[in-house]
Amino acid sequence: MTTGDSRWSLRALADEAFCNVLGPGSHNTAVVLCALLFGASLGTMFTIDQDRLASRREASIQVGYNVVIIDAVSNDGNGGIVADSCRHLPRTTASGAVVTVNANVHVLQTGPVPMQLTFVDGLFRSSLTAPIAALPTNIVLPGLQRVTIQIDDSVRAYSLAKWPLPAPVGLDGNVLIPTVLPPGSLVKRCLAVVELKYVESAETLNLIAGSVRAFDSQPDVRFGTDGTSPVRVASDFLQRPQRLAPLFVGLFLGLLLALTHRTRVRELDAYRAVGTSNTELLVLLALENLLIAGFLVLGSVTPLLLGPIVGLESVSFSGLHLAGAPLVTLTAGALSGVRRVLALSFRVNP
Amino acid sequence: MLITVESLSVRYGNRVVLDDISFSMQSGTVVAIVGPSGSGKSTLLAVVAGELEPTAGHVRFAEAWDGRVSWIPQQSRHIGHRSTVSNAALGALSQGSDRADAKAAARRALEQVHLSEVADLAARHLSGGELQRLAVARALCTGHPIVLADEPTANLDKASAQSVACAMITIAKHGRLVVIATHDLAVADLADQVITL
C-alpha cells in the first residue's frame, strides 16, 4: 500500500501507453494497423513517385536542362566574350568558352565529309581526357568504336561515343576538341553547367551574367532548354495532387484516434478513478499518439528503405514530406485527447 | 483526517439540489449518504471531490492534502483487455510505484476483495460484482485518504452488493475515509455514519 501525494512516473505512463497501444485486444490495434498500412501505402506511393521524378530529372540532365548558354550579342556582330572570364563561373560545376568552326575533314573509314569542329576551352577539361567525335548518323558504321579523322595535316583517332557531358546543348559541332585558348581571346559563346540545386534559383542567371566579361557586346545568358519542361523538384512537387496525401492520411488517422478516444471513455475513466490528473492523462494520451505516429513513420519509411533494393530510387525530399502525416496525426490526436480529457470528470447526476 | 461540511448549498439555475447542509466525517470510517434519486447524493460527492464549486458554504479539510481522491463509480471503469491485476495496479502506479511493486500491492488488494482467482484474467471477462470489487481493490492500492463511491452496488445482486460493501469496510480499516452515495439501505446499515438527504 502506498501513501502520500506521489504522482505517476513518466516511465509508468510510458509503460501504460505501450500496453494500451500494443496490448492484445487493445482498442488501438485497429489504429496501429491502419497507421502501418497507410504509412506503407504512402511510402510506396512516394517512392514510386520520386523514382519517376528522378528518372525525369535524369532525362532532363541528359538533354542539358542545367546547361546555361552565354552568347555575345551586338548590333554589328563584332565584339565577344573574353574566354578567360567564362572559366569558374559561380554556381556551376563546369564552364568555359566554345568555338565552332566548319571544316572539311576526312574520316578515314568513310571518306571526306563536311563537319563542324568545336573547340572547348576549360569547360570539359576535367571530364574530357581525349577528343570525342559525335558523327552524323549517316556516316557511323555499325560496331564502329573509334574513328580516325584527318584535319588539315593532322590525323587523330577519336572515341566514337555518346556525349559524356550533361548534354550537347549549345555544342553544334560533331567533334569536340579540348583546347586552351590564348589569354584574352574573344569568343561568341560560353557554356556553363549549373549545379542542380541552383537551377531553380532566379539569381543564378544574373550571377553568371555578372561574372562574364564582354567586349563590344552584351552577354545573353539563358538556359539551353527553353521550350522544354525541365523538372523543378520543389515547384513540380507543389503542383502535384499527391502533395496532399500525407495531410489526408494524417487527418484520417487523427479522426480514427478521436473515435478511439470516444470508445475508450471507460478506460480513461479508470485512470481518473485513481486520481490521475488531467496533465498526467494528457501525457499518457500524447505518448500513445506518439507510438501510433511512430508506426505511421515506420510504415512510411520502410518502402523508402526497401525501394533501392528493388531498383526504385528515393530521395530525401520525400522523407521530409512524409513527416507531415505523423505530425498531422499527432496534432489531431492531441486535440482529440485534450477534448476527451477535459470532458472526463466525475459525472454529476443531480 | 477530519472533513467538515459547513452550510453547503448547490443550485442549478433555479433548482436547489443541496440546501444548507452541515456535517463532519472522520478518517477510518464509512459514511453513507442516502436519499432518493435526485436528492443530490452525487452532487455532494462531486463537491467533496473538488470537482464542483458549491453555490454557498464550504468543505474544510483538517489536514493538508493533494486534492486527489479514489473514485468508485456506479458503472465499472476498467481497461477490458488488461488483466485484473493490471487494472488494480493502476492505483499504486498512480502513486509513483514501479510496476513490480504496484503488481504486488494489487495482488494483495485483490486477495482482500476475494478476486485472487481471477487476477490474471482479462478484466472484460469479469462479472458486474467482480468488476465493482476490482474497483475497490484499485482504490485500496491508492494512497488517497478519501475514497468516494457513487452507487457502487446499484446494479448488483444482494450477495455481490454485500461483498462490495464489505470490501469498502476493508478500505476504511486502512485508516481512510470512505463516502458512499447509495439508496441501498443494506449498505447504509454497514456504515459508521449515515447522512440522509
Residues A98 and A190 in one domain: yes
Query: Which of B41, B79, B107, B138 should one mutate to test binding to chain A, selecting the residue with the greatest count of A CBs within 10 A?
Result: B79
Residues A257 and A209 in one domain: no
**Residue A346's pLDDT is what?**
46
Q: Where among A227, A247, A266 does a domain terminate?
A: A227
What's the mean pLDDT in B137-166? Answer: 83
Tell me which residue of A71, A59, A69 sits closest to A223, measured CA to CA. Answer: A69
Instruction: Specify the 3-state DSSP secondary structure of A98.
Output: strand
State residue A183 phi and psi, 5-degree precision.
-55, 140
Listed as own residue / partner, the contacts of B12-19 with beta carbons closer than 8 Å and 24 or more positions apart are B12/A350, B15/A350, B17/A350, B17/B43, B18/B43, B18/B44, B18/B47, B18/B54, B18/B197
Per-residue confidence in pLDDT tens, chain A, 350 aa: 334 456 888 999 999 999 988 888 888 888 888 888 888 888 888 777 777 777 777 777 766 778 888 999 988 878 899 998 988 889 988 888 888 877 777 777 677 777 777 777 766 555 455 555 655 544 445 555 666 777 667 777 666 544 444 435 666 666 667 677 888 889 998 988 888 778 777 788 999 999 999 988 999 998 877 544 555 655 666 677 777 888 888 888 888 888 888 888 888 889 988 888 888 888 998 898 888 888 888 887 777 777 667 666 555 445 555 666 666 666 766 666 676 666 655 444 33
Put simply, the answer to whether B94 touches A275 (Cβ < 8 Å) is yes
Smallest Cα distance from A39 to chain B, Å: 26
Domain count, chain A: 2
Evaluate whether residue A155 is within a structural domain: yes
Residues A113 and A188 in one domain: yes
- Is B196:B35 a contact under the CB 8 Å cutoff? yes
B44 pLDDT above the threshold of 60: yes
Query: Which residue range forms the structural domain that includes residue A333?
Result: 10-57+234-343
- Whether chain A has a CB inside 8 Å of the CB on B106: the answer is no
Put simply, the answer to whether A275 touches B72 (Cβ < 8 Å) is no
- Whether chain A has a CB inside 8 Å of the CB on B142: the answer is yes
Q: Where among A227, A245, A264 does a domain terminate?
A: A227
Put simply, the answer to whether B66 touches A5 (Cβ < 8 Å) is yes
What single string gives the DSSP state of each residue in chain B? -EEEEEEEEEEETTEEEEEEEEEEEETT-EEEEE--TTSSHHHHHHHHHTSS--SEEEEEESS---S--EEE-SS----TTSBHHHHHHHHHHTTT--HHHHHHHHHHHHHHTT-GGGTTSBGGGS-HHHHHHHHHHHHHHS--SEEEEESTTTTS-HHHHHHHHHHHHHHHHTT-EEEEEE--HHHHHHSSEEEE-
For residue A10, which residues of chain B lie inside 8 Å, CB to CB? none
What's the mean pLDDT in B58-87? Answer: 85
Evaluate whether residue A1 is within a structural domain: no
Residues A83 and A217 in one domain: yes
Evaluate whether residue A217 is within a structural domain: yes
- Closest by Cβ to B77, choosing from A8, A16, A269: A269
Alpha-carbon distance A271 to A288, whole Å?
14
- Whether chain B has a CB inside 8 Å of the CB on A346: the answer is yes
Residues A330 and A244 in one domain: yes
Evaluate whether residue A5 is within a structural domain: no
Residues A215 and A94 in one domain: yes
Q: Which residues contact A153 (CB under 8 A, 6 or more apart)?
A: none
For residue A272, which residues of chain B lie inside 8 Å, CB to CB? 71, 77
pTM of the model: 0.67
- Is A174:A135 a contact under the CB 8 Å cutoff? yes
Residues A98 and A124 in one domain: yes
Evaluate whether residue A327 is within a structural domain: yes
Smallest Cα distance from B153 to chain A, Å: 17
**Residue A13's pLDDT is what?**
92
Q: Where among A227, A244, A279 does a domain terminate?
A: A227
Residues A170 and A243 in one domain: no
For residue A269, which residues of chain B lie inside 8 Å, CB to CB? 73, 77
Instruction: Specify the 3-state DSSP secondary structure of A54.
Output: helix
Residues A216 and A310 in one domain: no
